[in-house]
Amino acid sequence: MSIETNSNTSKPVLLSGFADEAANQKTAEQQFCAFAALGLRYYTLRFIDAGAGIQNAMLLAPESIERILALQAEYGLCVSSLGSPIGKVKLLDVEDGTSNRYVPFQEYLKKDVLRACDLANTFGCKLIRGFSFYHPRGTEPEGHLSQAIDQLGKIARVCDSHGLTFGLEVEANLIGQTGKLLKKLYDGVADPAMLLIFDGANLVCQGMSTEQVYEEYTAMKEGMGWLHVKDYQRPTTRSTHVDEESLKSFVPADQGDSGHEAIFRDVKRDYSPLLIKLTKRGIPGLFLDLEPHVKGGGQFGGFSGPDGFGVALRGLCRLLDYVGLNYDLRTFADIRNSVETTSKAKAGT
């Protein structure tokens, strides 16, 4: 009798996560050790200390990259996506009371976007996580759709030229702050190299109810490429601007107000056409990317610790088991094969 897989025999969803959330000091060894121990095969690369201090992956030097590649192979891990901050800058060079930076777009495209593409290819992943630009605070995002569509389309084309797919995450305070707005951006860009990333907590923290979150999920579903998994307990009021640094109510996916059970049931119903779409882009499957923030979150990242990340992963697995959506974690057979491979390699030397 085996207890290592659930009863659904379809191709499993691929579990991943922002590995920096599981490491107290964000060292590469801490991140990879935690993920390997939890049974994960994939991770999203964002902040990491590979011997030169904690850095965003975009700033890694060649020697740090070589060290990370060697360590991830040692721990049996692959990168699912590059957790880049692409698109998390101002759309317009205007003072709006925020600390968000502005970079002239052509400079941004040639420097930051190309850097992200080079990194993703170096690490052998097909996905780059990104955002939809900050419109000036106090203005309506709908008034900036045209410029955002133009710039996002150019980013998508650069990614496509490198064999990559750009994922646009739904998040407060950005132009694509709702599923409906993301869908407008997706339709406007109309490029298969740009897909959408659902994140329930990023909607709930804006004051949306469980029912509203599902409506936003449904609106962006046609363009969905993968899902970030974190949850939030609904605030009592809804605001047009969210103070991201004050968000404190993140919880595992089986305890919040995003309604992940209904969302995962819908994913299961329409799983086959989604996999076909992803396969055409060279993407290995549908990633559920844990970004739990259970010990706190902010504008450019969050933290869970190894214990919090384990709690969040178990909460996700309970939900997937409940809805019958198959997933893949390391098994004893994987460990045995790894030992045999290592033994053969040593014998060969």
- Predicted pLDDT at 120: 98
Q: Are 59 and 48 in contact (CB under 8 A)?
A: no
- Predicted pLDDT at 6: 41
Is 250 a member of any domain?
Answer: yes
Is 4 a member of any domain?
Answer: no
Work out the angle between the directed axes of helices 271-280 and 260-269 (0-180°, nearest 10). 70
Between strands 224-229 and 287-290, the pairing is parallel
Average the pLDDT over 218-237 and give the result: 91
Is 7 a member of any domain?
Answer: no
Is 11 a member of any domain?
Answer: no
Is 217 a member of any domain?
Answer: yes
- Predicted pLDDT at 4: 40
Work out the angle between the directed axes of helices 62-74 and 114-122 (0-180°, nearest 10). 40
For residue 146, pLDDT over 50 is answered with: yes
**Percent of the chain residues past pLDDT 70, beyond the cut:** 89
287 forms beta bridges with: 14
Average the pLDDT over 22-27 and give the result: 97
Average the pLDDT over 233-261 and give the result: 77
CATH number assigned to the domain comprising residue 213: 3.20.20.150
Q: What is the CA radius of gyration of the chain?
A: 20
How do residues 272-314 score in pLDDT, each as one tens digit? 999 999 999 999 999 999 999 999 766 556 899 999 999 999 9
Cα–Cα distance, 164 to 175 (Å, whole number): 23
Is 54 a member of any domain?
Answer: yes
Is 3 a member of any domain?
Answer: no
For residue 239, pLDDT over 80 is answered with: no
Is 271 a member of any domain?
Answer: yes
Handedness of CA 260, 120, 302, 177 (dihedral sign): negative
pTM assigned to the model:
0.92
Confidence of residue 337 (pLDDT cuts 50, 70, 90): confident
Confidence of residue 202 (pLDDT cuts 50, 70, 90): very high
Among the ranges given (12-21, 53-62, 67-76, 246-255), the one the predictor scored with the smallest mean pLDDT? 246-255
Q: Are 97 and 137 in contact (CB under 8 A)?
A: yes
- Predicted pLDDT at 248: 72
**What residues have CB less than 8 Å from 29, skipping those under 6 apart?**
71
Between strands 47-49 and 54-56, the pairing is antiparallel
For residue 23, pLDDT over 60 is answered with: yes
Residue whose C-alpha is closest to residue 290's, from 17, 43, 39? 17
- Predicted pLDDT at 336: 83
Handedness of CA 264, 270, 273, 277 (dihedral sign): negative
- Predicted pLDDT at 7: 38
Give the residue, 108 or 8, on which the prediction is more confident. Answer: 108
The two three-digit tokens of residue 170, written as one number: 């739904």
How do residues 38-91 score in pLDDT, each as one tens digit? 999 999 999 999 999 999 999 999 999 999 999 999 999 999 999 999 999 999
- Predicted pLDDT at 87: 98
Among the ranges given (6-20, 105-119, 255-269), the one the predictor scored with the smallest mean pLDDT? 6-20
The two three-digit tokens of residue 121, written as one number: 């290819």
Residue whose C-alpha is closest to residue 122's, from 58, 28, 192? 58
Domain count, the chain: 1
Cα–Cα distance, 70 to 28 (Å, whole number): 10
For residue 344, pLDDT over 80 is answered with: no
- Predicted pLDDT at 335: 87
- Predicted pLDDT at 237: 60
Cα–Cα distance, 180 to 197 (Å, whole number): 13
Q: Are 281 and 192 in contact (CB under 8 A)?
A: yes
**Average pLDDT of the chain, as a whole number:** 92
- Predicted pLDDT at 302: 84
* Start-to-end Cα distance in the chain: 38
**Percent of the chain residues past pLDDT 90, beyond the cut:** 85
Q: Which domain holds residue 149?
A: 18-341
For residue 261, pLDDT over 80 is answered with: yes
Q: Are 91 and 147 in contact (CB under 8 A)?
A: yes
Based on the number of CB atoms within 10 Å of its own CB, is 141 exposed (0-12), middle (13-18) or buried (19 or more)? buried
At 237, which helix (H) or strand (E)? none
